[in-house]
Structure 1
């Protein structure tokens, strides 16, 4: 863990915890649903439920679970760009769509601030270590 400052690691743990408490609420829907699922709805709910478990792992192993934060950032940004903005610009925005747009936009900003970008680029993309 010495590769990252303790404050950064703590912020990551807080983000994993917030992700966990937000997404764990999808599990009851999986267990209590009657009938068959719409396939795409089932994918979304299953993804959120499993992401809650991975976020719980992230609290214990924040650095190893950075890919979860990257997935979280990318799906939120993708939703904002390709779903949220077109709904907003079409004027067909509902209260629920507005809520999702705000939540995902705020989530993108938080993810961008918390993810340790220099570490990510060095670890996953081979960015050489910068010398002082």
Structure 2
């Protein structure tokens, strides 16, 4: 069995709590106290963020089992920054809304320092997968 230190588990829980509190402040007021209907993309994004929020609440109790949700967040934000934000920034055409999204995505820079990579490697890469038949 792969061991992760208690300190690392508390640090992971702190990350989940940070996400939970951040989304509670940034997303839920716009969902709950809405006066007019949301646009299609805004409703889809808010629904995904609400689902992510709920899964991060589970991460407070099960920090290792919920690691895939943190990995997903790390991958999509990194891809968006590399594919969208960096090219726009490099060419000087980054508008205000892109800056806002980029700023919110930059929180992901702390993830690689918190994720227990040895555990991720041993469980998701080295360990034998589920049978196919």
Same-fold status (TM-score > 0.5): yes
Q: TM-score, normalised by structure 2?
A: 0.81
Tell me, yes or no, if structure 1 residue 43 matches structure 2 residue 44: yes
Q: Which residue of 2 aligns with 1:85?
A: 86
Residue 121 of structure 1 corresponds to 121
Distance 1:95 1:40 in 2: 18
The whole-number CA distance in structure 2 between the counterparts of 1:115 and 1:15 is 9
Judging changes above 3 Å, is the alpha-carbon distance between structure 1 residues 33 and 103 closer, same or farther for their aligned structure 2 residues?
closer
How large is the Cα RMSD of the aligned pairs?
2.3
State the match for 2:33 in structure 1: 32
Q: Is the 8 A contact 2:85 2:102 kept in 1?
A: yes
Partners in 1 of 2:38 and 2:97 — Cα distance?
A: 21
Gaps of 5+ in 2: 129-133
Q: For residues 87 and 63 of structure 2, what CA distance do their matches in structure 1 show? A: 34
**2: CA distance, partners of 1:45 / 1:85:** 24
Secondary structure of the 1:93 match is coil
- Is there any run of 5+ residues in structure 1 with no aligned partner, and where? none
Quick one: distance in 2 between partners of 1:114 and 1:75?
17
Distance 1:104 1:35 in 2: 27
Q: Does 54-63 or 12-21 show the bigger shift?
A: 54-63
Once the 2 structures are TM-superposed, how far is the Cα of residue 95 of structure 1 from its aligned partner?
4.1
Q: Which residue pairs with 1:21 in the alignment?
A: 21
CA contact (8 A) 1:30 1:46 kept: no
* Alignment partners' CA distance in 2, 1:61 and 1:100: 29
